[in-house]
Amino acid sequence: MTEEFSKVMKFTQDCGMLSCDAVIVGCSGGPDSMALLDILDTYRNDINSRMMLYCIHVNHNLRQGDCLDDEHLVTDFCKERNIPLVVRSFDVESRSLQDRLSEETEGRKLRYEAFDDLALSLRESPGIKSIRIAVAHHRDDMAETMMMNLFRGCGLEGLTCLKPVNGNIIRPLLCLSKDDIFRHLRARGINYATDKTNFDLNCTRNKWRNSVLPAISDITGRSAAEALEQTHRLLGQDIELIETIAGEAYEKVCVIVGKNRMLLVSEVSKLAPAVRSRVIRRLWEERFGSLTDFETVNLAMCDELISGAHSQGSVVMPMPFGRTAYRCLDYFVFCDGSGNVEDCACSIAESLGFITCRETVSYRITAEFAQELPNTDLTLDAQIIENIDGLEYNNSSWLCPADVIGGGRVMAANLAATAGGLVFRRAGSSSGKQLRRLFTDLKVPRQARRYIIFAHCGDEVLWIPGLGHAVGFTNDKSRRRYEESHGQSELVRIAIERKQH
């Protein structure tokens, strides 16, 4: 065993990296990933035979001839060591043009998709519950990434993005320099591929690697990578504290509305900027699974949406991948398309007491009637009530004279099924309002208004669940008023009820 192997073993133990059933190694055939594959294979054979090891090679087809040689190198090594290997091949050049991404970004995206696909398939194997994906970033990569991100303008996360453990991604070689890796490969007699593009100074990373960082080392008299590793460690401790505070804040300001997690704008806006930004990022990560391509500019847009003067109405703001940030009333949520915006708007409307149905509905109500609202767990039910004493009321039930219902004049519908001009005049009021204007005045989410259920007869709205009625009654107080003016008559109870599960 080499000194470098022992160093990696201590590092992985300190970070708890290898406490899993299986590890997938992403191996390009270059020196870093070949060293990683060798070290983890040695660990599997000599220390922990229970851990299963897999290798995945992704051929980007960017360097004609060389890419196939790299694939053969990895294939031969895995065959010699009896390491299960999966090979994936992509036309990264074409895919990058299609997705409008750089070849480097597209290649990274496809690699990690391939890693995740393999991990997902392995979870179906007996004895495999926890899987880690090992990538070959080393200390010099960390230094380059820190400096590149620093001069792009970033926060603490940008300076410490190459973490030893990040979800199911592990980086066992972060404790080694590039020289350490070459020393290990020489001692073990392991062949590796050389990517000639690593010496192309037109590439930004290569400029940092081959020119800027060596110049910094010459000026300071100390390895720039070692100094930045120390900074990385200290910043990591600061981030841990801030993340703990942000996590506690997230639990306080996050609510579930319908099926969606949303932030309470009034509470989030009170948080310190460093905490608020992390709360927003966490909501994105929980909603979509990762922070990939959620950049500083997107975070700033969301922060402005929460902290700015958007208290009236609702605002939809575009985000990466066709997603949106949606603020409505005191709620902020991320959506994955316009349909999801409407879902969220309907959930907010329901939190205000209204009943919504995303389908177009129009039903003629009779004295004995039952109808399931499509794609909901709601049933619209009407039945004659002979004895109302002891009757329980709620916001989604309405009692009206049977003669109002008689002849099937009353319709249950939403605005998606009706024309404009509908007017609601609350019982006891001398004036009414057009329904669309009423919803606007009540600050009902704009995207939900056409889906709100109500009962009407012609242009007259008779009942809006959760809001009120024009005739009949919905509680004991309105019942007494009704009976004083109308006496007792045969009644029909109309209710929207959730199905019992």
Phi/psi of residue 478, nearest 5 degrees: -70, -25
State yes or no: pLDDT of 228 exceeds 90: yes
Query: At 200, is the pLDDT very low, low, confident or very high (cuts 50, 70, 90)?
Result: low
CA distance 265 to 302: 11
pTM of this prediction? 0.75
Give the residue-averaged pLDDT of 278-299. 89
Beta carbons of 250 and 279 less than 8 angstroms apart: yes
pLDDT of the residue at 197: 62
List, as own/partner pairs, every contact residues 425-431 make where C-beta atoms lie below 8 angstroms and the sequence separation is at least 24, other chains included.
425/460, 425/461, 425/470, 426/468, 426/469, 426/470, 427/468, 427/469, 427/470, 427/471, 427/472, 427/473, 427/478, 427/481, 427/482, 428/481
Q: Which residues contact 497 (CB under 8 A, 6 or more apart)?
A: 378, 379, 381, 396
Q: What is the DSSP string of 366-381?
A: -SSEEEEPTTSSEEEE
Beta carbons of 442 and 485 less than 8 angstroms apart: no
353 SS3 class:
coil
Q: Which residue has tokens 């404009």?
A: 420
What H or E segment, with its residue span, contains residue 224?
Answer: helix 224-253
Instruction: Name the range with the highest mean pLDDT among 159-168, 247-256, 294-303, 399-408.
Output: 247-256
The DSSP code for 475 is S
CA distance 488 to 490: 7
Structure tokens at 472: 């009949």
Instruction: Name the range with the highest mean pLDDT among 41-50, 200-209, 287-296.
Output: 41-50
- Domain formed by 3-229, architecture: 3-Layer(aba) Sandwich (3.40)
What is the spatial order of strands in the sheet that 324-328 belongs to? 254-257, 260-264, 331-335, 324-328, 314-318
Q: How far is CA 345 from CA 182, 285, 354, 483, in A?
A: 57, 21, 11, 38
State yes or no: pLDDT of 484 exceeds 70: yes
pLDDT, tens only, 342-383: 999 999 999 999 999 999 999 999 888 899 999 999 999 998
Phi/psi of residue 491, nearest 5 degrees: -120, 155
Classify domain 258-351 at the CATH topology level. Answer: 3.30.465
Q: Amino acid letter at 237?
A: Q
State yes or no: pLDDT of 102 exceeds 90: no
Report the relative pairing of strands 411-413 and 454-457 from DSSP bridges.
Answer: antiparallel
pLDDT, tens only, 319-344: 988 899 999 999 999 999 778 999 99
Q: What is the DSSP string of 300-336?
A: HHHHHHHHSS--SSEEEEE-GGG-EEEEETTEEEEES
Burial class (CB in 10 A: 0-12, 13-18, 19+), 421: exposed
State yes or no: pLDDT of 65 exceeds 80: no
What H or E segment, with its residue span, contains residue 387?
Answer: none
State yes or no: pLDDT of 309 exceeds 70: no
Q: What is the DSSP string of 160-189?
A: T-S-SEETTEE-GGGGS-HHHHHHHHHHHT
Beta carbons of 442 and 434 less than 8 angstroms apart: no
Q: How far is CA 333 from CA 240, 248, 253, 353, 489, in A?
A: 25, 19, 12, 20, 48
pLDDT of the residue at 201: 59
279: nearest Cα among 255, 259, 297: 255
CA atoms within 13 A on the CB side of 456: 23
Average pLDDT, the chain: 89
CA distance 53 to 379: 54
What H or E segment, with its residue span, contains residue 117?
Answer: helix 103-122
Q: What are the sequence ranges of the domains in the chain?
A: 3-229, 258-351, 362-498
